Structure 1
Amino acid sequence: MSAPKVVTRDEWLAARVELLAREKEISRAKAEVDARRRELPMVRLDKEYKLTGPDGPVGLLDLFEGRRQLIVYHFMFDPAWDEGCASCSLMADNLGHLVHLHVNDTSLAFVSRAPLAKIEPFKARMGWSMPWVSSHESDFNYDFQVSHDESIAPPEYNYKDADTLRAEGLTYLLTSEGPGVSVFLRDGDDVFHTYSAYARGLDTLLGTYHFLDLTPLGRQRYVNEFRHHDRYDEATGHSCH
């Protein structure tokens, strides 16, 4: 991408003020969408999911850690892989200190279908500390449309069924893992699903993108072109869709 054209300070200021008006329009539109997201109805979860954490079996309720809200990031890590998805790793690298969520009565946890025996060494390699559990022997990933196997459940991703995915050339999603985020609310021991997002809906989680969007050269690469942060000096690195 070429650099912007060179202009006078007055010309730059006029262009900047014009863009500021557009930025404010988008900010107002986002605030409206955020409000509508908060107003979405919710669904009670009647199924008890058996997950595995570092200290043994856990349920979805345990991931709240006593708080009212839970955000689950569906980290792509197939049981057959030796390491987690590079794109999801970029998102993990963008996490701030979780205390800022905790003081707002919100917990965050990663869930992957890989067994904990693969998750734990990869997590240590990346230097992460977020809660991360395995859904290896659970329907959790399939119920929230981030793992796809037609022999287990009808594939669906980003609210598109198998026929739509095929028609759009997204056939790889019929047999693969996909990233996502889901949000839950707790009322006592009752857990409710309030929101899930997938694909480009996850861009809002990527601080790296938002910083790059401020620059003239922009993002420069798609999310699946990023590597694990310890692989940038290698010729190739693991990537995923």
Structure 2
Amino acid sequence: MSISFPGESPEYRAARDRLLEREIELRRAMESVAAARRQLPPGGLVPEDYVFQGAGPDGGSQDVRLSELFGPGKDSLVIYSMMFPRYPTDDRRGAATGRTAELELVEAPCPSCTAFLDQLDGAVEHLDQRLNFAVVAKAPLPRLLAFSEERGWRRLRLLSAHGNNYDRDYHGESEEGYSLPMMNVFHRENGEIRHFWGSEMLYAPRDSGQDPRHTGTIEPLWNMHDLTPEGRPQDWHEQLSYG
């Protein structure tokens, strides 16, 4: 089946049909990769029941263990390691207002992580029907909660990993101890919690001019650019505020 749009030329239609074949091939490849991911053998047992700092019912902080992040009937847990503080060489400007703006730039949150989580905040209400999702960062909990309020996040579960080794063990920090934007998936079965998958493309070699794209398939911001004639901008970067 071939469709057409008003005013298009035969040359356009022929090129578009060829591109459509490639898009179908990409869809098949994505489905194949997803199927292969689901067939992974059991991953490693989580070495400890990591204790995070989360918001308590009275507005203070409370200890939250990794095992407690699994809700009833939901056995998959996705954790995103946010770069807060940002990588020390990241000199993009910080927040324009709020308590976060008072931080030294090196202690401020990563703009790219922030843009990513802006997009996921709206998805969590839907995801929560089937899986568990949490965001961890090395920043102290009061900084995380203040920034969340400034951004208007309403659904993200934010946890401080300030006092544990989670990011170190699951590659959410560099050898120097700097935060890295790793995503990990854990699965609970028969009382055991095992690692299932991690966004290891963050560490894989990349082609010239490409970002890691380790979470690229779930990020609308950059994928939307791919639909336009201009493509992904080469001289533009996410910011905490725009002016």
Please, what TM-score do these two structures have when normalized by structure 1? 0.77
Deviation at 1:220?
Answer: 0.7
Please list the CA deviations of residues 21-76 of structure 1 after superposition, one character each: whole Å capped at 9, or x if unmatched.
01111111111111111111222113121111001000111112232111101111
Deviation at 1:77?
Answer: 0.7
Question: Counterpart of 1:21 in structure 2: which amino acid?
Answer: E
Partner of 2:217: 204
Kindly indicate whether residue 82 of structure 2 is the aligned counterpart of residue 75 of structure 1.
Answer: yes
Partner of 1:217: 230
Relative to 1, partners in 2 of residues 1:207 and 1:8: Cα closer, same or farther, differing over 3 Å?
Answer: closer
Deviation at 1:222?
Answer: 7.1
Please list the CA deviations of residues 170-210 of structure 1 after superposition, one character each: whole Å capped at 9, or x if unmatched.
xxxx4522111000111254211100103421212211111
| Alignment partner of 2:147 out of 122, 128, 132 | 122
Question: Counterpart of 2:158 in structure 1: which amino acid?
Answer: W
Q: How many Å separate the matches in 2 of 1:30 and 1:116?
A: 37
Kindly indicate whether residue 44 of structure 2 is the aligned counterpart of residue 18 of structure 1.
Answer: no
Partner of 2:45: 44
Kindly indicate whether residue 170 of structure 2 is the aligned counterpart of residue 144 of structure 1.
Answer: yes
Question: Contact conserved, 2:83 with 2:181, CA < 8 A, in 1?
Answer: yes
Deviation at 1:97?
Answer: 3.2
Question: Counterpart of 1:58 in structure 2: which amino acid?
Answer: V
Question: Contact conserved, 2:84 with 2:138, CA < 8 A, in 1?
Answer: yes
| Alignment partner of 1:195 out of 187, 194, 197 | 197
Question: Contact conserved, 1:61 with 1:189, CA < 8 A, in 2?
Answer: no
Question: Contact conserved, 2:119 with 2:219, CA < 8 A, in 1?
Answer: yes
Please list the CA deviations of residues 78-105 of structure 1 after superposition, one character each: whole Å capped at 9, or x if unmatched.
398543210101111111332322222x
Kindly indicate whether residue 147 of structure 2 is the aligned counterpart of residue 132 of structure 1.
Answer: no
Q: How many Å separate the matches in 2 of 1:220 and 1:182?
A: 28
Q: How many Å separate the matches in 2 of 1:35 and 1:97?
A: 23
Q: How many Å separate the matches in 1 of 2:49 and 2:31?
A: 34
Question: Counterpart of 2:162 in structure 1: which amino acid?
Answer: H
| Alignment partner of 1:63 out of 43, 66, 69 | 69
Question: What is the correspondence of 1:171-190 to structure 2 with a 5 Å cutoff?
Answer: 174-187=176-189, 189-190=191-192
Q: How many Å separate the matches in 1 of 2:189 and 2:76?
A: 9
Long gaps (5+) in structure 2: 1-6, 57-61, 87-103, 203-211
Aligned length: 199
Question: Counterpart of 1:125 in structure 2: which amino acid?
Answer: E
Question: Contact conserved, 1:83 with 1:122, CA < 8 A, in 2?
Answer: no
Q: Residue 194 of structure 2 aligns to a residue in which SS?
A: strand
Indicate the RMSD between aligned Cα atoms, in angstroms.
2.0
Question: Counterpart of 1:227 in structure 2: which amino acid?
Answer: Q
Q: Percent identity at matched positions?
A: 30
Kindly indicate whether residue 128 of structure 2 is the aligned counterpart of residue 102 of structure 1.
Answer: yes
Identify the range of structure 1 (42-51 vs 176-185) with the bigger mean alpha-carbon deviation: 42-51
Question: Contact conserved, 1:83 with 1:118, CA < 8 A, in 2?
Answer: no
